[in-house]
Amino acid sequence: MNQSPLAVVHPEAKIGENVTIDPFAVIEKDVVIGDNCHIYSHAVILDGARIGNNCFIFPGAVIAGIPQDLKFKGEKTFVEIGDNTTIRECVTINRGTASKGKTVVGSDCLIMAYSHIAHDCVLKDHIIVGNASQIAGEVQIDDFAIVSGGSLVHQFTRISKHVMIQGGSRIGKDIPPYTLIGRDPIVYCGINIVGLRRRGFTNQQVFLIQDIYRTLYTRGLNNTEALKAIETEYEPSEERDLILNFIKTSDRGIVRGSIDE
């Protein structure tokens, strides 16, 4: 471990191998940090943080602060961060509450500067959260989603896989998989073709996803009718089933289609 003598590290914190801790970083007692991490100056890692391997915590970030939730009564809760994740300057990631017990940020994520991840959120793997985005409590974000800078995500919202959300968006409805979301107020603007191509989706998969969303948003059907049409007109597949299951289990309702369509 390469620890500056000017860092404040509790002797009972569990620090992995080949970890660099810069001057003026603070690491409290009930903290676990994996191998090959770099904790930069003025980063603060508080009790309850569990950080994986190969993570970078930049200056001013605060990991495992107590929740900004009046229902929190001091219960023992956690923040879990996976491997190969980067937390940029002044990011705040709060601990969980009794609701879920932990806040989770997965592996291979990039949380950009000044973003906030509130209590009991679950962010899965390969997620990008843009600068100054604010993610409220108990939000769920699935793999490969991109929430662009300055976005505001309402509590309990779900954002599914392979989604791309325009910067500055106000997100109060669930965002179904594979979609491109933008405008103000936000609407469905098509599917995230660029992201899907980058991740190896075939033409057949892309065309299927496009066609399913045409059925959902452009045929003049209500959600119940559209779901029935999707179930009966398309063969079962991973893409079809993910879209169907997401919409069926949406408590908040999904983002609406564009009035231009």
Q: Please give the positions annotated as active site.
A: 119-120, 137
- Checking 181-185 for CB contacts under 8 A at 24+ apart, the result is 181/255, 183/258
Per the CB < 8 A criterion, the answer to whether 51 and 32 are in contact is: yes
- Distance from C-alpha of 14 to C-alpha of 219, rounded to nearest angstrom: 57
- Give the span between the Cα atoms of 129 and 140, in whole angstroms: 13
Tell me the CB-side half-sphere exposure of residue 251, using CA atoms within 13 A: 6
- Determine contact, residues 162/181, Cβ cutoff 8 Å: no
Tell me which H or E stretch contains 94. strand 92-94
Gap between the terminal Cα atoms of the chain? 58
